Amino acid sequence: MCNFASVKLHIIQPMKIYKFGGASVKSAEGVRNLERIVSQANDNLVVVISAMGKMTNALELVVNSFFNHKPDLSDNIKAVVNFHDSIISDLFPDENARKVVNASVEKLYADLNAIVSNKPSLSYDFEYDRIVSFGELLSTTIVAAYLRHRAINAEWVDIRRCLITDNNYREGNVSMEISENLCREAFLGKKLSITQGFIAGTPTNQTTTLGREGSDYTAAILANLLDAEDVTIWKDVPGVMNADPKLYKEVEIIPVLSYKEAIELSYCGASVIHPKTVKPLQNKQIPLYVRSFINPSEPGSKICRYNQHLTLPPIFIHKKNQVLLSLTPRDFSFIAEERLSKIFGILASYRIKSSLVEMSAISFSLCMDYNEVTFNKMIEELRDEYEVLYNTDVELITIRHYTPEIAQRITANHLIYVEQRNRLTARFVVPV
């Protein structure tokens, strides 16, 4: 006879994904705050972490010095080391505890120095990925060590061994097929895993990255591959807001957004969500929460499948550091599909993405992110066939769910270079 009273049911907790950006771990206090948030979570948690603070920018200086043989290489590396050592000293005042984390961190410093002690390859993008990736490797190593120091059993996972991409350096394309089994083996069945955002690896163990600000995308891919219950992105804002509080006095949190609306906002330049993040979640109907690491008890915003009509306020997005480029064929021929294909091919070769496109019979205009070096190289190539005009220092203003009155008020004091409107969205390219 079976004694049902003695049977214990082991309920498997659904997996959750937390993502912490650079702003959340830019200091020792930030890491302590992360520990407080993580300690409140149940088991089966994967924590994806970006480089600390502005460390990606600092490592980009290292890449440029190394690749271009500049004399400030050692100073730039020293700045990276000093920044992390300062946080470690604050987090681990006990010398014995500090020795443990320093052993791991110094191994990473040695690996970085080994790279830059040799001559760079001919591929800037290859060197970029293997050097900039140290930001995430260092941040996760320090955070995992601190959690263990606080008696939280955190396992450090090298995402490069399980999230596999092609060798399209600086914007690797993830192989979901190859990555799925590797990620499930690396993360399932563990109470707490600490891993890196933004970076990945190739089948031949080369380091790649997923594109600037790609840690949100990492969290979304892992959620898809691991069938997670949900993803939470911890930000320094209380949720998805209808405007930047630094630019507007009266702002409000948007409590619920559909996947479609979130994709539209990210495409328009909303910085709260990386453009690639939503699709892997939408594919498996996994909700995404945007919450504040400053006030973690607040509910924040939820992005999910939402078929009912949502009445949303006007949403204002300002995308700065743009350039407006206008092309006219020198032979005055029409801008037809063949020309468009060639223009976009050139853009793709320089990894430039357009934010806004407008065309007439014999001219074609684009608003895009401005990188002086890349842009100037592209312009030289385009000048063979086109007359080229451009304005730097422009801004793209997007008003989603606009009214004519609001659009007039926002643009009243601006010279407008380009204006586009449809039923829901008004967009204006204006000088800064």
* Beta partners for residue 389, in sequence order: 326
Share of the chain above pLDDT 90, in %: 81
Q: Which of 4-8, 121-125, 186-190 is least confident?
A: 4-8
pLDDT confidence band for 35 (50 / 70 / 90): very high
Tens digits of per-residue pLDDT, 89-119? Answer: 999 999 999 999 999 999 999 999 999 999 9
Is 309's pLDDT higher than 80? no
pLDDT of residue 54: 95
Phi, psi of 234 (to 5 degrees): -95, 120
Residue of 361 and 314 predicted with greater confidence: 314
pLDDT in tens, 17-26: 999 999 999 9
Share of the chain above pLDDT 70, in %: 97
Residue/partner pairs of 106-109 with CB below 8 Å, 24 or more apart: 108/134, 108/137, 108/138, 108/141, 109/81
Judged against a pLDDT cut of 70, whether residue 307 lies above it is answered with yes
Tell me the CB-side half-sphere exposure of residue 52, using CA atoms within 13 A.
Answer: 25
Residue type, 64: N
Q: Is residue 418 over pLDDT 90? A: yes
The CA-atom distances, in angstroms, between 196 and each of 142, 143, 216, 253 are 12, 11, 11, 29
Q: What is the mean pLDDT of residues 375-381?
A: 93
Dist. CA 284–CA 212, nearest whole Å? 25
Per residue in 379-409, pLDDT (tens digit) is 999 998 999 999 999 999 999 999 999 999 9
Tokens in use for 126? Answer: 């290859």
Please provide the average confidence, as pLDDT, over all residues in the chain: 93
- Ranges 3-12, 280-289, 345-354, most confident: 280-289
pLDDT at 6: 45
Mean pLDDT of 409-414: 93
State mean pLDDT over 123-139.
Answer: 97
Higher local confidence (pLDDT), 361 or 168? 168
The crossing angle, in degrees rounded to 10, of helices 124-132 and 134-149 is 10
Residue 141 to residue 138: CA distance in whole angstroms: 5
Give the residue-averaged pLDDT of 406-413. Answer: 94
Picking from 92-96, 173-177, 210-214, 217-221, which range would have the lowest pLDDT averaged per residue? 210-214
Q: Identify the H or E element spanning 78.
A: helix 73-91
Render pLDDT for 253-280 as a digit per residue (tens, 0 to 9): 999 999 999 999 988 888 778 878 999 9
- The residue-averaged pLDDT of 169-191 equals 96
In this predicted structure, the answer to whether residue 4 has a pLDDT above a threshold of 50 is no
d(CA 26, CA 340): 43
Model confidence pLDDT, tens digit, residues 47-63 = 999 999 999 999 999 99
Q: What is the pLDDT of residues 218-250, one digit of tens each?
A: 999 999 999 999 999 999 999 999 999 889 999
pLDDT of residue 12: 57
How many angstroms separate the CA atoms of 136 and 232, rounded? 19
This prediction's pTM = 0.91
